[in-house]
Amino acid sequence: MSYNNAVMKTNGFVARTVRRLRSYGFNLILLSVLTGLFAGVVVTFYNICTSYGESAAQEVYALLLEHPAFIPLLFVVLAIAAILIGTLTKFVPMVKGSGIPQTEGAARGLFRIKWYAVMCSMFAGSLACVFLGLSAGSEGPSVQLGGCAGDAVAVTLRRSYMIRRLQISAGASAGFAVAFNAPITGMIFSVEEAFKSLSPSAFICSAISVITALFVRNSVRSALGFSVGYSFENFVFVEAGVADIALVALGSVIVALLAVAFYYAMFAVKKAFTKVTFLGGRGKYLFPFLIAGVFGLVTSYCIGGGHGFIDALSTGGTGKIDGISVMGLSVGISIAIIVVFRFISMISVMATGVPCGVFVPMLAVGAGAGALLSVGFSNIGMSPEFSDYFVIICMAVFFTTFVRAPITGICMVFELTGQFKNFLPALLGITIGYMISEICHLHPGYERMLAQFIKSEGLDKNVRKMSVTVTVMPSSQADGNRLRKIIWPANGLVTEVIHADGASEVPDGATTLVAGDKIVFECETDDEKVLKEYLFEIVGKEV
């Protein structure tokens, strides 16, 4: 009897191993390579186009200042574009905003997307916003374009819904990594924002897609003569003194409070814009476009995502910011004007749902606030050469406070600059930002936008709570696996495991499932059939 049990156990192990090799070989590795290739090509060319678009917009605005008689024509064009963009978001609501919340929702299985419609609409709509001079970045759309690439691969090859989710997340990671040339930050962002947990499958898919996409990015950019280096490589990090660290703490509190103010202001304006009904609700899009026109005529630093503005804040270790001037004013006043303008522009863009990125514009506000503080702090004991690092820390603090993704914030500091030293000040600043967001009860920014999107689009109307009991079959994905390593349907939880001997337990993430176990899965869903098909893919289906 014991011999038979040993043989059965060995056969079961072999069967599970073969199943996992087959799964990892095609469903994960090969699909992830294809996702990385597709995402790498699309996002690389998209970012090249946006860089041209930003340069073109700056040239047009400079030309208009030389020929002011044509300025009224600018606002006519902006008004027409606003109505057209508003119409686009009516037909393809998945492109509202930066696209990151919608990509997160698709990766979690909260809803499905039509990748071809979303990819084409976001590519064209966000690129138009860049050409028109809005404070629009390319990083958020890059995440959505990458997610669409992953969905396209899974759908075209007729993979299951779970594999589809994995590829959306992997594509989103690849899109982020290509946009910033930051592989680790891209992967961490996917884990922190998409699945909110780390599973082996999600890690493998994201890692392979990121590696492949970055290879494509660097190959294409090198072939076309573009730089493949870091996003903000002009900043110089130096060792922090005791006074510097103390001022990092103070500055982080101030910047975090600024992020809190932005958070509440943005959602308040967003709520107010829901009451705008003229032109079928499209009228609200006039505000961000016309505001962009006014600010763009005042200073070119309000045009585009903000890479140029952030780069201009670097001092090369000298502690002196040169070259930033608005209407001939001093550097400090000029930076303050740019920060205020970008603060207002970002609120209007995010509150209305213009399809464009706000990731770098958000970093630009934090960096600008850090530069202002560094000017003041240099007069009370901060080392001038420390100002570069201080600006980058404040940039990450603003992001962390709003998004509440501290690990992404920490990785971002070092990957976007290529400076991998002096870890303590960055860790201190980001921790303070995260603590203040907790004290002020900030729900993660993208999470709240996702919840509002689901409600506004009526995606939760038919959702109801459901309980399903299924049996774990031999050699299935669940057989021999821990609960936390399995990607379960969204908004669901395994509430009970009933073993073959009749004993039951309330499981946790470390609970290992074996063939013969019955699991009780509770979930909020609008489609019982889809839920059961998903579960059968995990536990196997009785023949």
Separation CA 169–CA 151 (nearest Å): 9
- The arithmetic mean of pLDDT across residues 125-133, rounded, is 93
pTM score of the predicted model? 0.88
Gap between the Cα atoms of 297 and 60, Å rounded: 10
| Cα 171 to Cα 265, 373, 450, 467, distances in angstroms | 32, 38, 19, 32
496 strand-pairing partners: 520
Q: What is the DSSP letter of 443?
A: P
Per-residue model confidence as pLDDT tens digits over 232-241: 778 888 888 8
* Closest residue by Cα to residue 86 from 284, 229, 313, 290: 284
H helices then E strands: how many in the chain?
19, 4
Structure-token pair, residue 490: 């969204």
Share of the chain above pLDDT 70, in %: 93
Distance CA(424)–CA(239), nearest Å, equals 10
Share of the chain above pLDDT 90, in %: 44
Quote the pLDDT of residue 1.
45
Mean local confidence (pLDDT), 36-46:
95
CB neighbour list of residue 213: distance below 8 Å, 6 or more residues apart? 36, 37, 39, 40, 43, 146, 174, 175, 177, 178
Do the domains at 10-223 and 242-455 have one common CATH topology? yes
Distance, CA of 287 to CA of 73 (rounded, Å): 17
Quote the mean pLDDT of the chain: 86
Per-residue pLDDT averaged across 437-445, rounded?
A: 91
Higher pLDDT, 287 or 281: 287
Say which residue, 475 or 289, is predicted with more confidence: 289
The pLDDT of residue 23 is above 70:
no
CA pair distance 252, 125, nearest whole angstrom: 35
Distances (CA, A) of 92 to 116, 117, 144, 279, 354: 11, 7, 13, 17, 12
pLDDT exceeds cutoff 90 at 87: yes
Q: Is the pLDDT of residue 365 over 80?
A: yes
518: which strand partners? Answer: 471, 498
Q: How many CB atoms lie within 10 A of CB 278?
A: 9
Q: List, for residues 282-311, the tens digit of each pLDDT value.
A: 889 999 999 999 999 999 999 988 888 998
- Structural domain spans, the chain: 10-223, 242-455, 462-539
Longest dimension (CA), the chain: 95
Residue 144 carries which side chain, given as an amino acid letter? Q
Confidence of residue 104 (pLDDT cuts 50, 70, 90): confident
Expressed in percent and rounded to 5, the helix, strand and coil fractions of the chain are 70, 5, 25
- Of the ranges 2-16, 147-161, 440-454, which one carries the lowest mean pLDDT score? 2-16
3 state SS of 496:
strand
Asked whether 317 and 385 are in contact (CB, 8 A), the reply is yes
User: Which CATH architecture does the domain made up of 242-455 adopt?
Assistant: Orthogonal Bundle (1.10)
Between 189 and 394, residue with greater pLDDT: 394
CATH for 462-539?
Answer: 3.30.70.1450
Is the pLDDT score of 82 beyond 50? Answer: yes
Query: What confidence category does residue 78 fall into, taking pLDDT thresholds of 50, 70 and 90?
Result: very high
**Each residue's pLDDT tens digit, 143-170:** 999 999 999 999 999 888 888 888 999 9
DSSP at 470: E
Q: 């073993």: which residue's tokens?
A: 499
pLDDT value for 149: 96
Alpha carbon distance 157, 330 (integer Å): 58
The listed range with the strongest mean pLDDT (336-345, 457-466, 532-541) is 336-345
Q: Which CATH architecture has domain 10-223?
A: Orthogonal Bundle (1.10)
Residue 3, pLDDT score: 46
CA distance 217 to 207: 15
Q: Is 199 exposed, middle or buried (CB count within 10 Å of its CB: 0-12, 13-18, 19+)?
A: middle
| Confidence label for 198 from pLDDT (cuts 50, 70 and 90) | low
pLDDT(22) > 60: no
